[in-house]
Structure 1
Amino acid sequence: MKTVTLTLSGVLLATSALIAPGLAYAQSTPTPVEAPGPTTQTPAEEAQDAEPEENQLDEIVVLGRYIPEPNRQSPEVAAFLTSEDLERTGDANAAEALTRVTGLSIVEGRFIYVRGLGERYSSALLNGSPLPSPEPLQRVVPLDLFPAEILEGVTVQKTYSVNFPGEFGGGVIDLNTVDTPNEPFFNMTASIGGNTETTGQDGLIYFGSRTDFLGFDDGTREVPGELALAFRSGKRIVSSNYTRAEIARIARSLENAPLRLLQEETTPINGSFRVTTGASTETGLGTLGALLVAGYDNSWRGREGVRQTGRIDNRRLVVGNDYDFRSNQNDIKLNALGAFSLTNEFNTLKWTNLYVRNVTKEARSTQGIQDSSGFLRTDNTEWFQRELFSSQLAGGHTLTDRIEFNWRAAYAKTTRDAPYETRFGYGRNAAGNLSHNVGTNPNISFSTLDDDVVSGGADLSYTLPLSDFREAKFSVGVSSSDNNRTSERRDLRFAPISTLSTDQLESRVDYLFSDFNIGQYITLSEDTVANGAYEGELQVNAAYAQVEAEVIPLVNITAGWRYEDAQQDVVLVDQFTGSRAIGSSLAKSYWLPAATVTWNFAEDLQLRVGASKTIGRPQFRELAPQAYTDTESDRTFIGNRYLRDTQLINVDARLEWYFARQQYLTGGLFYKDMSNPVETSAIQGGEGIQQTFLNAPGATIMGVEVEGKKYFEFPDNGMSFIANKRWLVQANYTFSDSEIQVGSGDRIRTEQNLGVGERATNLLTDGARLQGQSEHVANLQLGWEDDTDRSQATIIVNYVSERISARGIAGNPDLIQDPGVFLDFVYRKDFTAAGRELGFALELRNLLRTDYDEFQELGSSRISINKYELGRSASVSLTARF
């Protein structure tokens, strides 16, 4: 069989040959027109020129010589972050790195929105296995948990293929950890940094324990023995269940000054340290490799800003609550990755273990005017420890030259422990001095969250040759996952036994709640909600069948069906009686089809078109009809047990031109039709902002994506600085537009209305944008690479336009967040000193001093819901390579 390799001008001949082979054989090969890259004829082309009358062309193949390997192998619309990309941008974790990908934006520094769809519509995998989440409000794992140094790359697949979980709206994010090396190495990196709003500034702190800087408490925050016994007794801590002396003993066992007293201190610099090492050796069974990555990071973030709430007065938006706040947050992060592999000619075994611990220690004070109560000040001290442990065993086996078998089994567990969340309120007395508001709110809370996933899967593929140059790959697979979550919270409140004196009410917090006053003037009472705990479980069993085939030369088709059967339950648990009540139960099966066609119609140029049906399931917290306060925003969220699954129809098209090695230009269109999308809505309740969840009747989202990457090299005309470098321009832009569809007859079931349908138009506006969706997302990278000088520099620009953070209370405008423009600069240089290979890095972040800004707006009136300065950041690091 003979093969002709076509350049761009050969498309016409290829088309003619497919339609009328006889005519094509009679034609002579046209002279190729110069195209980007080499144009030398292949041996097959030379042979055809020499003996055209004797050649018989059975098929015509276009070779995409510049199409990168991941893009060539992936049949779907996807984006790939490589280790080179991660190093260039210098991002600290996966969440930051993914903001550089077309159509992706970051929310709260942790969660990724793909094409304007919230994190609930995307799934995150670690080496192909699902992950649990330590976040109370999300089932999706926050991506700031994954430091960049443990990642080999990240795949973001934007069109659905049936080998992935069916929960797919915006995309699937597969985090690939670093692999074992071929050569032994040992690297150490240390860095220091600071922020203009934090470092060297006076910030709020509380002492905590002596080992807080390590990310571990020394036992100070452990639940005291007397309190632990009371929690286990099943009796609420109130005077009807305990004597006054017993309650006093419990209250005195609580830690006082180290965890309650706010102070001011100069905030230190940020610092981090990490070690990476690996090696491999030959054994009788194959190559045995091992890799270890360990890191420690200690950073500070100070914030000073405004938090307001708005209300409508005489058809004008006016300020209700008006607070100023100060916060100082210490983040301590530890991570360790251990990977082992055994490979030979036909088999690969990998065992990957990851441990991540993120601790947040925060001191915060808020004061201002409460709409109905006048002056109010609230002081908070908090300690949140999030842990993730994942262990995965995976294997790949080549059974014959046509049959491959792959499998994986994983266990992952996350925990979130928040001991001693303290909250103390103050007003002003007749003399204008600060005075404790004793007994008004819960003062001390203990909460825990455990979330684990046991998962496994297997894939079997068979490759059928269709010709010497084409083949079809048939794949079948099964997978199963069992996600379990438990959440508990206990709230305690100090209350006066008798009238407190002015001196007592004006005293320091640790003096007022000292052992002397407890039992004599102050008692303890428990405010825990009876059904304040819940258990959630999601079991998903799935099977799929898929075929990937080059059905005719130039055209590849990937098509398949996935069957998913899921049972999702949320059970409300009474922490005093142990009784259990079904909060929500969703059981449903789906058939999910997907197909993508790729037409490589010209050299290094291809068109992809895909369509699929996918789903999105409500998250556990969204289904639990309980109140939960988010400390990041000081907002209370209430679940809705009547939520239903979201169903999506997805259509994508993308044209890709890889005109030179590592250089490309792509453009794409996408459209999604959504049934029952989940939205967050603000509701009336108390003095602050409360939010709940509801199913909108429907929504659509459509958009355009453009991305390009180009290198430039210039001749030496006396400007060696320019000539010795390879200059980079890389940019992407996404425009998306969404609309909620609400008809006059549509009804919504809410928790506040106890599941009784009410008019959707009372809560939603037809044609409004989807929550979280930004019309414009753009990224730009400008930089150079100098192999001679061993240096690299990049200017990075990221822009995200306004998006809805929550629906406003009926009749009020929506809450809007304006992420704005961020400008960063990263410089890296390798050099040799004292015979040692070293690497230096400088990172400058937020050079434009963009603020965090969330607001409500009506006409000329604007309310700052949450606004503070982020400041500019800088860090330097040094790496030693051994």
Structure 2
Amino acid sequence: MKFNSLTFRALLVASTAMLVPELVYAQTETDVEAEPEANTAETSDLKLQEVVVLGRYIPEVLRSTSEVAAFLAPEDLARQGDSDAAAALARVTGLSIAEGKFVYVRGLGERYSSARLNGSPLPSPEPLQRVVPLDLFPTKILENVLVQKTYSAEYPAEFGGGIIDLRTLSIPSESFLDLKISGGWNSETTGQSGLVYSGGSTDALGFDDGTRKLPGPVRRAMATGQRIVNGNFTPTELQALGTSFTNAEINLLQDNDQIPLDGSYSASGGTSFDMGSFELGVVGVLGYSNEWRTRNGRQEVGEISGGVLLAPTFFDYTRTSQDIGLDGMLGVGLDFGDDKIDWTNLYIRRTSKEARTTEGFDDLASRFTRTDRTAWYERELYSTQINGKHFRGPWTFDWRTALSQTKRDAPYERDIRYVDSPVLSGFVYNPTGNGSANNLSFSYLDDKVISTGADVTYTQPVSSARDIEYSAGFEAYKDERSAQQRIFQFIPANPPLDFLMTQERADYLFANYNINPVNGFELREITGASGSAAYDADLEVVGLYGKIDAEVLPLVRVAFGLRYENAVQSTTPLSLIASEAAPTSAPSVKNNYILPAGTLTWNFAEDQQFRLGYSQTIGRPQFRELAPQQYYDPDSSRIFIGNPYLTDTEITNIDARYEYYFDRGQSLTFGVFYKDLDKPVEAVVVTQSASVFQTYLNAPKATLTGAEAEFKRTFESPFSGPFLGSKDFLVQANYTYTTSDVQAGAGDVVFPLQAAGQPRPATNFIVDGSQLQGLSEHLANLQLGWEDEAAKSQLTLLATYASERITARGPSGQPDFVQDPGINLDLVYKKGLEIRGREFTVDFKAQNLLGQDFDEYQSGNGGFVQVNQYDVGTTVSLGLSTEF
């Protein structure tokens, strides 16, 4: 597309041109400023060839797209001081963050948004999501981030809230080497008491040294295809298998009354080489971080008794996690002038070492209990991509191909349950328990995406200043996921256990001399049967699109496209025990869609424009929402299980937005949007015995309506004096109001898991008129700051607010589960210093200054249940960096 500026005279001429196109002149800003003689000559010619009206101050990235979009530039990422992409995106209008890693766009949950890396799809290492968690991406590897809120045909059809495209560092314009070190302190964690366990000698590096490796004898027993239980194996064999498991290093919780500081180190660098006929660029990033967090919280399980909501089961807990991060990126670029090729390799690893104890009253057991838990989670993402861009006159050809793979390994998730003893006035080991108690679990997930795509664009000039852009392309990708879980228990070989044994410390309790077939423990495998322990999932998508983007009038730009998409999605439950048959798989879900997307942009003034968009999109159930495998989430203490009877969600989107760009980087925008969702997927909580399960179903229908506004202004200091007089100030604020209506009438039905695919009245599960899950009615962000180039300093105060949102539908007859994110206030300060002739930058960051805690609850029926609550604390970090 071609863009020129407009003066007020040109606007008047353009208005006339619409009415009498043969009697007006083409004018640009250069024409107006021409010499009088030239103007006289121009005036004598009453034939106007063209009028172009496009904003002088509209940012290039927003001029190059006809869609409603938001853009985080490098200076935004630097000013905000956020360490990962999820935190940075929380500042964007209409976006909120759940669990610190999943982005909600315009009130729609993470299932309705997708993340891409340099235009290619990404897999997820999370068992409960197909969407990659954005806390995996450190901001130091990002060049910029684009958030597109209205759909266009070149993107996949799975679009509800938005597309997030993370773009990594490219070829540097000049050589650089940047080194940074930082340390952090948290008010709830650092220097205070927390829980730890020994683990392995290399835990601080985020890698296990073999301590948590599944024992060789157990692997060989599993290879026989028999369940590891008495009858399939002799007591002597079971004793040998039981004693092969790691004991003290995993089972023994310890108090540490001085949890250490956080720390991180990073290095990034790049250079380019002039090779004569082409330019070669190389850029690389390495990073390491070590963070500690302690949560002291409370969890309650509600029930309705006599029409009143009560919490007969309640627990207090302490959980300490050590989170280790490793980041690496290597990018190589070739620039031949008309041809550009980039090769990007990204490696991200996040490891969490967790220790937790939970103590409280279990209503089912009618006594106080305590459960000690240790866990180790390795999340890993690797992506290699090759992208090309080629220019041939009016033709542009882009192509891309990528292989991305994520893995999640969770060995030795261990729960040990104790019950109160009236004899000892303390806790003793309880060999039975319920739910996930007394389990030893090994789970693994592998998710791989292979993708390829190409786009071709032809630009046809209509006049000297207008053109029509024709584009077409395809994308094909295959997402393969494999997940499995093996679970073991140590049960009394000849119950009951000796009372003295139940009083022993965990490492003595499960020592080798207590694992015997006479008076000790016997190993038993309780891995889920009927395919509930493992599954393979597959999603194959082929999409084709065509699009026209044209200035049909000098003031009006229209983009319209159609996308055809064919998809086949399957989830196959597997039996990990060869002697036990897996259930019949649900049939593959096959769908074909032809989806329209159109946007009209009216640039009616030099610095103002109006956008109107319409599109039809879909949302597919995620693998975990379809799979029958059970997964225990320690954060929520809920067991998740999928529903193979889910179907696609079909979405109609309507958007309108006014944009006013009154100076470079300064703007005021206001927009409204509407979405109609047919069969949206909703999470539903059910209770069975003392366990809380979360599953999924398609609600009949929902609508969403919202409005959003954003203001950004920079201005010179209105003050005088040596301190304030030299500063430039920033004011940036945005607000989003969203409301929704989930509809469930008397004749509507749903297909819940517990009904085995049979229809049930929707009103049994959905309250008509309730809000969509994940939707916060109010979202707001405020940034206030100043920058002083002479003093080499920058300060920014950032406030983020999200109102209450539903996290899951409550069990039948109970209120919904609600989370209250509240207000988060951060402060970021940067100061340049010269030390011994070298420039250094000091970064100071304070997060959650108001001490907002995590709060999830149920309220109604005359009662209140604290589903989950813990203090997050305030985090302060100090960093030092220098560039060579």
Question: Where does residue 650 of structure 1 map in the other structure?
Answer: 653
Question: Superposed, which structure 2 residues align to 1:133-212 within 5 Å?
Answer: 133-212=124-203
1:48·1:55 contact (CA, 8 Å) conserved in 2? Answer: no
1:584·1:623 contact (CA, 8 Å) conserved in 2? Answer: no
Give, in angstroms, the shift of residue 688 of structure 1.
3.4
Cα distance in 2 for residues equivalent to 1:5 and 1:161: 26
Question: Where does residue 439 of structure 2 map in the other structure?
Answer: 443
Q: Paired residue for 2:295, among 281, 289, 303?
A: 303
Question: Superposed, which structure 2 residues align to 1:650-799 within 5 Å?
Answer: 650-714=653-717, 717=720, 719-799=721-801
Equivalent position amino acid for 1:169 in 2: G
- 1:235 is paired with a residue of what secondary structure? coil
Question: Superposed, which structure 2 residues align to 1:230-309 within 5 Å?
Answer: 230-265=221-256, 266-309=258-301
2:50·2:463 contact (CA, 8 Å) conserved in 1? Answer: no
- 2:734 is paired with a residue of what secondary structure? strand
**Structure 1 residues 453, 5: CA separation in 2 closer, same or farther (over 3 Å shift)?**
closer
Question: Where does residue 483 of structure 1 map in the other structure?
Answer: 479
1:580-606: CA deviations, max 9, x gaps?
A: 531352111100110011111100101
Give, in angstroms, the shift of residue 686 of structure 1.
2.7
Residue 459 in 1 paired to residue 452 in 2? no
**Structure 1 residues 46, 765: CA separation in 2 closer, same or farther (over 3 Å shift)?**
farther
Give, in angstroms, the shift of residue 133 of structure 1.
0.5
Cα distance in 1 for residues equivalent to 2:6 and 2:326: 53
- 2:135 is paired with a residue of what secondary structure? helix
- 1:17 is paired with a residue of what secondary structure? helix
Give, in angstroms, the shift of residue 765 of structure 1.
1.3
1:419·1:447 contact (CA, 8 Å) conserved in 2? Answer: yes
1:584·1:641 contact (CA, 8 Å) conserved in 2? Answer: no
Question: Where does residue 525 of structure 1 map in the other structure?
Answer: 524
Cα distance in 1 for residues equivalent to 2:593 and 2:645: 20
- 1:60 is paired with a residue of what secondary structure? coil
Question: Where does residue 408 of structure 1 map in the other structure?
Answer: 400
Cα distance in 2 for residues equivalent to 1:540 and 1:39: 49
**Structure 1 residues 325, 45: CA separation in 2 closer, same or farther (over 3 Å shift)?**
farther
Question: Where does residue 881 of structure 1 map in the other structure?
Answer: 883
Question: Superposed, which structure 2 residues align to 1:813-828 within 5 Å?
Answer: 813-828=815-830
**Structure 1 residues 5, 788: CA separation in 2 closer, same or farther (over 3 Å shift)?**
closer
Question: Where does residue 562 of structure 1 map in the other structure?
Answer: 563
The answer for unaligned runs of 5 or more in structure 2 is: none
Question: Where does residue 384 of structure 2 map in the other structure?
Answer: 391
Question: Where does residue 847 of structure 1 map in the other structure?
Answer: 849
Q: Paired residue for 1:429, among 416, 421, 426?
A: 421
2:541·2:568 contact (CA, 8 Å) conserved in 1? Answer: yes
1:632-683: CA deviations, max 9, x gaps?
A: 2111111100000000000111111100111000000100000010000111
Question: Where does residue 35 of structure 1 map in the other structure?
Answer: none
Give, in angstroms, the shift of residue 52 of structure 1.
3.2
Q: Larger deviation: 229-238 or 253-262?
A: 229-238
- 1:386 is paired with a residue of what secondary structure? strand
1:442·1:491 contact (CA, 8 Å) conserved in 2? Answer: no
**Structure 1 residues 436, 815: CA separation in 2 closer, same or farther (over 3 Å shift)?**
same
Residue 66 in 1 paired to residue 62 in 2? no
1:368-393: CA deviations, max 9, x gaps?
A: 00112121111100000000000001
Cα distance in 1 for residues equivalent to 2:38 and 2:103: 53
**Structure 1 residues 44, 176: CA separation in 2 closer, same or farther (over 3 Å shift)?**
farther
Question: Where does residue 550 of structure 2 map in the other structure?
Answer: 549
Give, in angstroms, the shift of residue 433 of structure 1.
2.2
2:292·2:321 contact (CA, 8 Å) conserved in 1? Answer: yes
Cα distance in 1 for residues equivalent to 2:741 and 2:335: 51
Question: Where does residue 640 of structure 2 map in the other structure?
Answer: 637
Fraction of identical pairs, as percent: 47
- 1:464 is paired with a residue of what secondary structure? strand
The answer for unaligned runs of 5 or more in structure 1 is: 33-37
1:302-333: CA deviations, max 9, x gaps?
A: 00011001111222111121100000010000
Cα distance in 2 for residues equivalent to 1:514 and 1:295: 40
2:293·2:321 contact (CA, 8 Å) conserved in 1? Answer: yes
Cα distance in 2 for residues equivalent to 1:299 and 1:229: 37
Give, in angstroms, the shift of residue 739 of structure 1.
0.5
Question: Where does residue 510 of structure 2 map in the other structure?
Answer: 513
Question: Where does residue 347 of structure 1 map in the other structure?
Answer: 339
1:17-40: CA deviations, max 9, x gaps?
A: 212235657xx99xx9xxxxx999
**Structure 1 residues 194, 716: CA separation in 2 closer, same or farther (over 3 Å shift)?**
closer
**Structure 1 residues 417, 246: CA separation in 2 closer, same or farther (over 3 Å shift)?**
same
1:804·1:817 contact (CA, 8 Å) conserved in 2? Answer: yes
2:655·2:672 contact (CA, 8 Å) conserved in 1? Answer: yes
2:409·2:443 contact (CA, 8 Å) conserved in 1? Answer: yes
Equivalent position amino acid for 1:335 in 2: D
Q: Paired residue for 2:604, among 601, 604, 609?
A: 601
**Structure 1 residues 716, 370: CA separation in 2 closer, same or farther (over 3 Å shift)?**
closer
Question: Where does residue 308 of structure 2 map in the other structure?
Answer: 316
Question: Where does residue 382 of structure 1 map in the other structure?
Answer: 375
- 1:88 is paired with a residue of what secondary structure? helix
Cα distance in 2 for residues equivalent to 1:761 and 1:490: 37
Cα distance in 2 for residues equivalent to 1:439 and 1:391: 48
Give, in angstroms, the shift of residue 9 of structure 1.
7.0
Give, in angstroms, the shift of residue 727 of structure 1.
0.4
Cα distance in 2 for residues equivalent to 1:227 and 1:727: 64
Question: Where does residue 500 of structure 1 map in the other structure?
Answer: 497
Cα distance in 2 for residues equivalent to 1:865 and 1:9: 63
**Structure 1 residues 541, 243: CA separation in 2 closer, same or farther (over 3 Å shift)?**
same
Question: Superposed, which structure 2 residues align to 1:77-92 within 5 Å?
Answer: 77-92=68-83
1:625·1:751 contact (CA, 8 Å) conserved in 2? Answer: no
Question: Superposed, which structure 2 residues align to 1:94-105 within 5 Å?
Answer: 94-105=85-96
**Structure 1 residues 615, 121: CA separation in 2 closer, same or farther (over 3 Å shift)?**
same
Question: Superposed, which structure 2 residues align to 1:101-120 within 5 Å?
Answer: 101-120=92-111
Residue 575 in 1 paired to residue 576 in 2? yes
1:62-96: CA deviations, max 9, x gaps?
A: 24111111011111100001111111011010000
Equivalent position amino acid for 1:317 in 2: L
**Structure 1 residues 45, 634: CA separation in 2 closer, same or farther (over 3 Å shift)?**
farther
1:783·1:792 contact (CA, 8 Å) conserved in 2? Answer: yes
**Structure 1 residues 836, 584: CA separation in 2 closer, same or farther (over 3 Å shift)?**
farther
Question: Where does residue 467 of structure 2 map in the other structure?
Answer: 471
Give, in angstroms, the shift of residue 430 of structure 1.
2.8
**Structure 1 residues 8, 234: CA separation in 2 closer, same or farther (over 3 Å shift)?**
farther
Cα distance in 2 for residues equivalent to 1:109 and 1:681: 22
Cα distance in 1 for residues equivalent to 2:698 and 2:824: 34
2:535·2:629 contact (CA, 8 Å) conserved in 1? Answer: no
- 1:338 is paired with a residue of what secondary structure? strand
Give, in angstroms, the shift of residue 807 of structure 1.
0.5
**Structure 1 residues 561, 832: CA separation in 2 closer, same or farther (over 3 Å shift)?**
same
Q: Paired residue for 2:593, among 578, 590, 594?
A: 590
Give, in angstroms, the shift of residue 42 of structure 1.
2.8
2:68·2:657 contact (CA, 8 Å) conserved in 1? Answer: yes
1:583·1:625 contact (CA, 8 Å) conserved in 2? Answer: no
